[in-house]
Structures are given as C-alpha cells and as structure tokens.
A and B are shown apart, each in its own frame.
Chain A
C-alpha cells in the first residue's frame, strides 16, 4: 500500500506527503539532534560538576589529614609535651603502677587532654627511643608494651614509630587492624620528639577516622543528588577494600579483586583522576568522578545513579516525542483537509468533463472558494457554452443536409445495385468467355487430330473401295495392292495416333475438371510412391537419353491426394521431355524432396535443359498455352499442375528458369 502511495501520481498523496516532509521531517530532525545534544551536554555537565566535587572532597580529605599531621608535628615541638615526656621517662622505670609514675601520669593526662581536647584523636601515646610505650592518654592495653617487639613490632604503630624515630618525619601510617581489644581499624600519626636535633622518643596519636566516615564534610553527598555517594577505596595485594560505609550493600567490609573492580576504581588507584560512566560496586549504572589521595594512597570516588541524572532528560525525550507525534497527527489531518479542498473541485471538474464527453453539453462547473478554481470554472463553462453553440449550429446544418443526403443515398443505392447486377453479368460473361475459350481451345485442339483422322479415314475408305472394286474385277495388281497396304498402314497409323491424341486431349480436359476432386485423400510413403510413378513413366523415358535422379528421405509419410502428386510429377516429366531438350540430347531430371518446418513438404523438380525464356515464364501456367503446339503440346500440362498444387494440395508453386535449366518448386503441407 505504501508502494502504491508512493508511485500513485495522485495529487492528494503528494500534497499530504509534501506537508509531512516539509513540516514534520525537519522538525523531527532538529528534535533528534537537539535531544542527542542535550543528552551529551547533560552528561558532560554532570560529570564536570562531579569532577569538581571529587576534587573538592579530595582536597578536603587531604587537608584534613595534613591539618592533623601539622598539628601533631607542632605538638611534637611543644616544650610542654617534651617536658612531660622526660618526666614520664624518668618515672617510667619505677613501673606503671608505682605512685610516682601515676602522679606524673595524672599531670600529663590533664595537660595533654586539654591540648588535644577538640581534636579527633582516640588515644595519645608517648613512646621512648627504645620503643616502650610509656604513656597512653586513654590508658589502653598497649601501655608498657614495646612497639619494636612482639606482638606489635610488625604493626602499623611499629612502622610509624620507626619512621619517626629513624627519619625524623611526621607521618600518617597506613590503615590496619591494630587494636585487638577494640577490633577497629587503626591509623596513627607519629612525630619525633627531638632534643638537639636528635630523637629521644615519639609522640603518636591514634586518629579517629570515624569522623572521616560519618563526617558530613567529606562523605556528605550534597550536590550528588538523591542517589549520590562518596566512596573511599584502598588497594593492597591485588585487591581493593572499601574504606567507607557503603550505601548500597550491607557488607561492611567489602573487598574485591582489583581486576574485578570497576573502571573508576581501577583508574583512581592507578593515580588517575577524571570522570565518566561506570558501574559501581553493586552493579548500578552510575556517573562517577574520581581523585587520587596521595597521603594515604587511597582513592576517592563520587557517584550518582545514571537513572537519576538522566531522569529529566528521559522526561524531556518523552515529551518531545509525544509532541512530535501529536503534531504529526495534526499536520496530517490539516494536510488531508487542505489537500481535499484542492482535489475535490478537480474531481468535480473531471466528472463534469466526462458527462460532457458523453454528450450532455448542458453541464456546468460551479464556482469554488479558491480563486484559481473559480477562474477555471468560469472559463470552462464558457468553453462548454461555445461548444454547445457550435454543436447546435452543426446540428441544424446537418439536418438540412440530411434530407438531401437521403435522396442521394437512395440514388446511390440504386446505382450500386445496378452496378452489382452488371458485375454479375460481367462475371457470367467472363465465365462464359473463358469456358468458351476453353471449349474453343479444346475444339481447336481436337479439331486437328479429328481432321486428320477424318481425312485419313476418308482417304482409306475411298482407297479401300477402289481396291475392293479392282479385286472384284480382278484388275488388282501387286503394285496397287502393296501401295494400298502402305496407304492402309499409314492411314491407320494416322487414325490411331490422332484418335489417341484426341482421347488424350479429352482425358486431359476431363482431368482439369475432374482433377479438383480426383482421388481420395490417403496416407502413403512418398519415396516409394514417387518411385512407382517414375516406373510408370519408364517406358517413355527409355526412349530418350534423359535420366531421372530422385532424392527423397525415407519413411516420409504423407496424408494427402496421392493422385494429384502423381499427376504433377507426370506432367513435369512430360513437359520437360517435350520442351526442355533437343531430340536425343542428354539430360538429367532431378527430383528432390525435403521436409520443411511447419510440416511442409518441398518438392523440387529440375531439368538441365534449355530453360524457359523470360517473356513466357508468366504464361506457362495459363491453360492452353504451349510452344509446342505442333509437337503434341496441349498447353494444359502446367495449368493442370498449377490447379492441383493450389487447389488440391493447398500448396504453392514457384518457377525458376535460366538457359541452364528450369526448376519447379512445389511446397505443400504434409497432411
């Protein structure tokens, strides 16, 4: 149907199609282009914003860590702290349960609590140069243990201690499970306590990174939407640990293989920073931005669900398409009605024109809302009016002429009848004439042999009477008798020959008339039949130096008038013998038969005689036309052949002749 819509040259279809193409198509194109743009822009904008947020949070985190580090560093320089340390060191040797130690301990606790009051530290430790923990603000289990010996020497506090006491730097340790009693992750900042640029001990503060987790500043997801989240990740030994509490999983200690980590996590642990699409740890599709945190070798990832980000876009898309759909419907309807208002008057015009064509010249076209159509209607009507006038005028003239014509018609009819009658008469006359000429010819032909016969018979008769008389009177002598016998011979011969000739002529004449229905139609094998016919002619051929060649395919079955074929062949042979050669001339008659397409048989009879001169070639088939009237040519042979070929065999006959020979080509249907 679409195909028909497209190929059908209907104006209506074209108009509606045109409307849609020019109004809806570009609109749709623009809409799609803009939607695509919007989607990309939206994503870019959000990712940019998130990259900014990620950077901000990374900075916050680093600043947080750095602030604490610097604070602890300055604590390490504080003379108060140093003094307390030396006192504690001095009194530590008495044991942590000794009174003097405990007094010092209390003093230290007061001061140090004040100093560290507002800071997010879980515990404060003072460690001497050998690794002994000589003070713990919260009096934790590691008091009086040695961070360089078991079981702590391998742990992060030991690492931090080493770092500070050996390299004199203030550093934050890595994250690790340390505190066996609390079973919570620990991280320390350690700083050396220096005297004369030499380390005498280490101040260690256990960080409370709970603040980092629950701290609104770092992990708050404002600006990241409803589904937003900030994630901290760390890598160790080919696996990734999530260091913050996760929103979308109940698993508190989620760890995955680095290889299995998502694109953003992999990137951030690779030191890269950036933003883009990714899948988060719970398989949600998100837009994420990430930043590397060098102080802890962690990464921070901020993310929002894609669904949330693109929700307004999806809405926009839905509205755009709905509006487009609605507009398309509107435009199509409008187009339909406008097109209709153009096409209807055309249809009306067509109808009216049809009616006019049928003959009703009183039809008129009505005016229309469109100027152009009204103009057309007016001029069309005028044209119709003019035509009608012409017709009326013509009509009258025709009427006046028609009576004239009727009279003349009758006259003509009469003349026609007369002519017909005359024609019939002429035909009759011609038939009579031809018949007459035929009869005349026959009569003329017969006349001669009959004349000769009569003359010879009469002569013989008179001579016989004379001889009889002489015999009676015994006055017969031998000479007269032998002369009489000679005469009798000659006369009877003449009579015989000429009677035969007359009989032949009559037979031939009969044949012309009868031959049309000579024989019955029958089936026969051609080659065999021709051979028979040739055999019957053998007697005649023997007397000449003429040979006959036959070329005919075997097994060719015909279903036609065999007699006609025999007659034709006979006449051809006789004709050739009579006309084509000088007496005793050597020659060859060739009969060639071929089967043509459309079931036609072609029989070619050719002689190599002297040929038929051009002037008479057209006459040879006429009845009684012969050039050998004196030698027994009746002039009927080829005429009979002609009739037999055309009327009996329903075939065709052609003649070709040159001084080298004559060829007759007969073609006729096999059945």
Chain B
C-alpha cells in the first residue's frame, strides 16, 4: 500500500493556503456602495431657463471634482435634475418629488424669490435642506435653507454708496415688478438719502414686458446721474437696447441682476456696471482653474461663469464638507454641520455664518467690457458679514415692509 505522506514544507504551505483562503475575502474589495443622490432643481424651460441652466453645470462640475477626489466617505455623488419650468408651483411639486420619491440628500436650486418661497415650505415640511445660490433681497432666514448668494448689506448697500460717490447723486430706479426689486429699491432709497443723494424716478415693469418706451423717455427727460437697474429676465434686453438708442445712452447704469451670462446674450450700454461678489475676470489661481474646468465641462470655450454659478459651485463643496463631518447624508443630520463651514472659493474664502445661515461674501464693482467680461474696479477689503435683516431697522419693521409688497403687488414671478 502506498503511503500518502506530506513533508514539512507541504504542510506549511497547506496551512498558509487555508489561512489565506479564510482571511482574503475579508479584505477583498466589497461591492461599492450605491452613490449619494443630490437634487438639482432649476428651470430648464420658460423665461428663466437662460439664467438657470448654467447653474446645473456648476453643480455638475463640483460633483465631478468631488467624485474624482475619492475623498467623500467612500461614496460617489449622483445628480438628479428636476425642471421647475420657471413656475413656482412646479418648483414646489418637483421639490416634493425629489424628496419623497427620488430620496435626494440635499437640493441645490431656485433662482427667483417666488420659486424659493414655495420650495421653502416644502423643505421645511420635510426638514430637508436647500442651497440657494442667487443674490436676493434678504429678509428671510429659514432653518432648512443655506443661502450662498449675497444679501442687501453685501451687495446693494455698499454698491449704492459706491455709486453715489463715483457716479453721481441723482438716481433713477428701474426694476421688474416683484419682491426683489421692490425691496432692493426700498433699501437703496434709504441709503441714497443717507448719502445725500436724490431719487429722481422709480419705475417698475412687469416681467416679460417690452413696454419700455415711456420709461426711456422719462429718463431722457430727467437726465439722472446714474440708473439703478433691477430688471430681471428678457426685459433687460429691450430696456438696455432702447436706452442705447436714446439720448440717455451715456448715462451710467448700475445693474444688480446682470452678470456675464446676461452680457453674453443682451445688449450692454457704454457705462455699464454690475455689483457682485465674483467676476469671471478675477485673476487669482483658484478662479483661473475654475473657469478653465467649467469651460471644459461642456467643451465650450464661449461659456461664461458668473456669481450665481460660482455660488452654486462652492455650495456643493460646503455641503460635502458638512456631510463628511456629520458622517451622514441625511439632511437633518448634515444641516447643523453646514454652519461654520468655510472653503477657498474662486471669489474668496467664503464661510457660512452660524447666526444667519448666510455666507460671508465680498463686494466687487465691475465695468462691462466689449469682450463680454466685467473688469473689477472696486472691491471690499474682506468678505462682508451677511445681514439678511439689515441692522438699521428692526426685524419686525422689515417683515412689515415685505408684507406690504406682497399685499400691494402681485406675486406673479
């Protein structure tokens, strides 16, 4: 009978093999966990589509970068895009769908204040989280919203002051008929008065209106030192074009809702200024990279970046940082960790103010150039603390003012 014997080494190898076979599966790469879903809620159609579509790309760029860094708690991020169709009711419906059916961890979205207000009810109902990237009138502080756009004290107030000192003291106000221009002009009026200026005229045009002739004639007659422009949407094109044909074409215009994106599609008068926290022309290294990467996203060298685009972009990073710290993706868990987050954004080091849930942002004044860029001509020294309810009035006073606008004015956006 032949004996089956193993020598010393064979036994050792056998044992080693057994050990490896048992231990290896523990270290083997497990199936990657499913990606985290985030909602992006903007208008893909309707009057606001031109303004809002680039924000989706901004979010996508940030998500691509975060996914590429493999530094997000071993998960990847997936975007779920929803179309608000420039209609606040649809915005609210889509927000609800994103939360309840698509199970997103956070929503990046909205542009107009009307759409934000309807979505606000939804995110508050579900204790969810919305990142709102657009500059607006302030006077709001929802516990479920993070505001990465500028508020009045960061944009309107210092810009007004600058304009009074550098452009002139006789001011003409023109805006679209809804809450942002109304509130903005109210604040502007306060500071024109403080700055010993004078409001020579105040007009409001319905959105989408092109009935601008009377306004332009009024301007021609009054010859103000500066026009403060809070028109939103395509009406801007009609108004500015008409202005450029009139005798008032050289009067400086300071626009508050006019960015590089609008400069691409709309006409722009000779002395055209904008007030933002960010311009594409900023020369720092972070911005140069950001602009290059953004252009590469759609391989379109003509695409432009703007303040809302930059806000949407760094909003994603702030959320990601908060989620990493919270070690969770659930909105109510991540929410408290967002406060106090800071990041070196293309415009500056931005941080979320704990008290107000808004962002510390710079104020920059830029002059529109023929090449479609704004050249920075003034900048605040440091990021400005956000005051959604400007300090010089009681909060209750502001709420009263807001309500008066809502009641006396149609909220159709």
Contact = CB atoms under 8 A, between A and B. Distances in A.
B375 interface: no
Interface in A179-200: 192, 194, 197-199
A168 B194 contact: yes
Contact of A292 (B8, B345, B351, B392): B351
A508 to B, nearest CB: 76
Q: What are the 8 tightest A-B residue pairs by CB atom distance, in nearest-first order? A: A271-B349, A168-B392, A271-B342, A294-B351, A292-B342, A270-B344, A271-B344, A294-B360
Interface in B332-380: 340-345, 349-351, 353-355, 360
Contact of B385 (A55, A171, A194, A197): A171
Interface residues of B, number: 32
Given A66-B355, A272-B342, A198 B158 contact: no
Contacts of A273: 341-342
A271 B190 contact: no
B351 A167 contact: no
Interface string A15-41: 000100000000000000000000000
B157 A167 contact: yes
B351 A166 contact: no
Contacts, number: 67
Nearest to B353: A294
A270 B354 contact: no
Interface of A: 14, 18, 55, 58-59, 62, 66, 73, 166-171, 174, 192, 194, 197-199, 269-273, 292, 294-295, 297
Interface of B: 8, 153, 157-158, 161, 190-191, 193-195, 340-345, 349-351, 353-355, 360, 381-383, 385, 387, 390-393
A166 B360 contact: no
Given A197-B190, A272-B343, A294 B387 contact: no
Contacts of B393: 197
Contacts of B351: 271, 292, 294
A194 B392 contact: yes
17 contacts: A14-B8, A18-B8, A66-B355, A73-B391, A166-B158, A166-B161, A167-B157, A168-B157, A168-B391, A168-B392, A169-B153, A169-B391, A171-B385, A269-B349, A271-B350, A294-B360, A295-B385
A199 B194 contact: yes
Contacts of B345: 271
B349 A168 contact: no
Considering residues A18, A192, A270, A294, which has the most beta carbons from chain B within 10 angstroms of its beta carbon? Answer: A294
Contacts of A194: 392
Given A197-B393, A271-B351, A297 B383 contact: yes
Contact of A294 (B153, B161, B381, B383): B383
A14 B7 CA distance: 12
B153 A167 contact: yes
A168 B157 CA distance: 9
Contacts of A292: 342, 349, 351
A7 to B, nearest CB: 13
B385 A167 contact: no
Nearest to A66: B355
A66 B194 CA distance: 26
A194 B8 CA distance: 95
Considering residues B161, B382, B390, B393, which has the most beta carbons from chain A within 10 angstroms of its beta carbon? Answer: B382
A292 B381 CA distance: 17
A600 B150 CA distance: 115
A609 B108 CA distance: 121
A198 B195 contact: no
A261 to B, nearest CB: 15
A66 B355 CA distance: 10
Considering residues B190, B353, B381, B392, which has the most beta carbons from chain A within 10 angstroms of its beta carbon? Answer: B392
A647 B180 CA distance: 138
A309 B383 CA distance: 37
